[in-house]
Every structure is written in C-alpha cells, then in structure tokens.
A and B are shown apart, each in its own frame.
Chain A
C-alpha cells in the first residue's frame, strides 16, 4: 500500500526566512507527486505537481519542490516566507499510470512568525 510521510507536523518560521517542508513517498514504477495547501475552513489548492521531466518543479506563490528518486523524497521549499503562507501543507502521490487514487500525508502546519 502507498504511504506518504510528512516528517514534521508543525514548522514555525520567521517572516522572510527560508522554509523546507519534508515529504517522503512510496517507491513505485510510476510516481506522480503533488503539494497542496489548505487555508482554514477551506478546501485544498494545488501548489505544484511532478508528473515527469525536470526534477525541480516550480509552483505558485514562489514555492518549488525537488523530486529525488534515490531518496524517495519530494521536499517543498520557499526562499522567503510571508505571513500569508501560514496554512497547512499536504504532500500526495498517485502511483501507476492508470491509477486514480490520491494518497495524502498527514500534513504540515506552517506558522509564519512576524
């Protein structure tokens, strides 16, 4: 069974500092990886996705992630965070070309401190 592990449940960081949110996925022949953000009482919004190609993926709001097959990781980074980045972030994967089921990690709460 697939599992997505988000290594930190909470990450506090000062405004304008860099941040990395860690994610490890289950190895598979075909892997498709996603990061979603969830603001309070809202649904999930896609930040970025890795389907194939370049291992460095750029997303919205200045976020980027790097696909590392040897370490089965897909860490999310931002060089300088804003107060508005305070939210919960979910890493997710789909395994298999014909699969439909998105498996999520438990989430990481990012708190940006002024």
Chain B
C-alpha cells in the first residue's frame, strides 16, 4: 500500500490561467473522490468515480471544473479560468467498494493559490 499520491503539492497561478492536478489512487481501489478544503472548514465533496465512470458531481463543481479518470486508474482535475475563490486545498481520496463501506484514504492534497 503506497498510499494516495497527489501532484503537485503546491500550485500558484494567476487569475484566469488553467491548472491541472493529478491523483494516483491506491492501486486496487475502484472508487476515487475529489474534495475541496478551504481554511477553517472541513473537506467538501466535489465529485466521485467508480472505475472510469464519473457518477456524481456536486453543485460546487462549476462548469470551469472538469475531472477525468481514464481507464479507471489515475484521475485529473482541471480548473479553467481560475478565480481567487478557487484558492483551496484539493484533496483526492480512494476506497474499495465490496458491498459495504470501507474508509476513504486521502492523499496529502494540492494547495492552490490564485493571485
């Protein structure tokens, strides 16, 4: 178990630029989640995949956000035309679904700062 890996750890970008983050889940995990955490708050759900299918998107995920998980392995989260309000920690998590809940394993996150 090498854990959930996220890259980059930090990203500073200017408003209006596009950014892309990557998440590599634990290899045998079929579920992958993206959460966003702002200062002083708990993580908020953005979207999740079961294998390669994106099954749910939160209303927090505006049209500027897109997530993919090709081949059911790693995932990318892209934010287009970034705004200062997008500044946050973006957390990826994975889990295995076997008919009952198993805990989410989180990566160390990507901290985005939009200037």
Residue numbers of A with Cβ under 8 A of B are 4, 32, 34, 36, 41-46, 49, 51, 90, 92, 94, 97, 100-107
Contact = CB atoms under 8 A, between A and B. Distances in A.
Chain B residues touching A, range: 20 to 34
Contacts, number: 57
Nearest to A104: B42
Given A51-B101, A101-B56, A41 B108 contact: yes
Nearest to B107: A43
Contacts of A45: 106
Contacts of B33: 100, 102
B108 A92 contact: no
B21 interface: no
B41 A107 contact: yes
A97 B100 CA distance: 7
